Structure 1
């Protein structure tokens, strides 16, 4: 039986943005799937047409959604998440719901202190209005260029924006921002879990939304667990690394690491 792999997208991207990854992992013998978040439409256009369905879903809602999907699988999956999907993957791994996880440019978890200025600017479209906590917020092409496409050409950034972007719920960002002041924050991850499966954190050196310093600080949060935790950095990549023309390099690293873990 093929090992299931669940891909988890982050804010502002639709689940179908993983389509090339699904094909690649299927070819490698995995059973690859990419479910959407609660409220996402089946397509990019459907999601853009109904932002109200997407709004006001928080971190716990998304974790519960994927936990329910995992319960329907024949065995625990490998999780691969990007951005906030990387945080969700870490939470599910910490709950022992996955055999392993790869978190790519993952949103900051509770305990991570650095909040670089570029990250504040990238998320300003949400934070500029407190009411966005309960709404879905869209980026324009210029905002996407700064947050995702700064390490690629403007033409490629615009093409990715048109093809894959959808409105994103503001609530997860507000929850993550307040995490270090909330003892019961949904952004808390069981980083001290000794019995969890292996975890690979991937950072991008040019990422504006989740700068490398955030991922390195996340890596340090796992210092109290003897479970396998590794860090890989792509020095010249930005937040678009899973959807831009260089995605195969990232996929190759993920596949190699899974083989090294016997998965």
Structure 2
């Protein structure tokens, strides 16, 4: 039974539009766990608007300023949120999902059409089991900190530990601290579903798909990114020197440049 209510929740949609008439297909950015649309507003939305794209970012239910219950929301509810948002914008957008948002986009693509999709530091179709085990062994202190975040909220989140998990060593301390104040708890139901296979069966190989890995990702290692790429019948592209939070970390400009090159290559500028 779905965790969604009878009346779908209101969803926060943040949009940056180009100064001139848009000449490119719109983009819809889907965030990962513990954050909201704000993570795209910092750099990505204005950067893509400057390049002629209408760039949208949605906060999934229970995240950011969206309505709905965080604690009963599951992955299928997040898929429904993407679907409602796609129907809300003017033209069918290219979907860009990060981390948990990447695997939500993967499940969306099994059910609905999309002109193209980019999966950034995405959880692989098989879910988090192997990733969590590897992460816990490699850095148990940071792994336990995520448990603190989930249990009591962001108030006791250590910026130092947050940096180890999500950011590069050279990201300024004030930015790490500011982002730490903006993170939130995640849906227990969604986290439970992520612990096992999330996307089973075939994914559409006819949808142009970019699978992009962060070269210094402490959460999603290269073997997991490669697994996602294999599922989509493509090769992974890696941006070196970037940590898991690719939209906020130092080097975010190189991630944008990689996305723009890919969008040009698939003809997204033609809309």
Aligned 8 A contact 1:156 1:244 in 2: no
What does 1:123-134 correspond to in 2, within 5 Å? 124-125=144-145
Of 193, 214, 230 in structure 1, the residue corresponding to residue 204 of structure 2 is: 193
Aligned 8 A contact 2:125 2:228 in 1: yes
Aligned length: 239
TM-score (norm 2): 0.75
Per-residue CA deviations over 1:142-165 (Å, capped at 9, x if unaligned) read: 442232125544726633534642
Aligned to 1:18: 40
Aligned 8 A contact 2:72 2:189 in 1: yes
Aligned 8 A contact 2:26 2:94 in 1: yes
Establish whether residue 5 from structure 1 lines up as the match of residue 27 from structure 2.
yes
Aligned 8 A contact 2:38 2:64 in 1: no
Aligned to 1:55: 71
- Aligned-partner Cα distance in 2 for 1:79–1:36: 14
Per-residue CA deviations over 1:163-218 (Å, capped at 9, x if unaligned) read: 64222223222212122xxxxxxx115544244x2010111232111111111122
Aligned to 2:11: none
Aligned to 1:248: 253
- Aligned-partner Cα distance in 1 for 2:223–2:174: 26
Aligned 8 A contact 1:112 1:214 in 2: no
Quote how far apart the aligned CAs of 1:64 are. Answer: 0.7
Change (3 A) 1:115 1:21: closer
Comparing 60-69 and 110-119, the one that deviates more: 110-119
* Aligned-residue RMSD, C-alpha: 3.0
- Aligned-partner Cα distance in 1 for 2:239–2:127: 24
Aligned 8 A contact 1:63 1:92 in 2: yes
- Aligned-partner Cα distance in 2 for 1:156–1:213: 32
Of 82, 93, 102 in structure 1, the residue corresponding to residue 98 of structure 2 is: 82
Question: Helix, strand or coil for the counterpart of 1:106?
Answer: coil
Aligned to 1:182: none
- Aligned-partner Cα distance in 2 for 1:7–1:22: 9
TM-score (norm 1): 0.78
What does 1:107-186 correspond to in 2, within 5 Å? 107-110=123-126, 114-115=130-131, 117-120=133-136, 121=140, 124-125=144-145, 138=154, 140-141=157-158, 142-153=160-171, 155=173, 158-162=176-180, 164-179=182-197
Establish whether residue 64 from structure 1 lines up as the match of residue 80 from structure 2.
yes
Question: Helix, strand or coil for the counterpart of 1:6?
Answer: strand
Per-residue CA deviations over 1:203-242 (Å, capped at 9, x if unaligned) read: 123211111111112212234xxxxx34211232211221
For structure 2, the 5+ residue unaligned runs are: 1-21
Comparing 139-148 and 15-24, the one that deviates more: 139-148
Establish whether residue 34 from structure 1 lines up as the match of residue 57 from structure 2.
yes
- Aligned-partner Cα distance in 2 for 1:22–1:202: 18
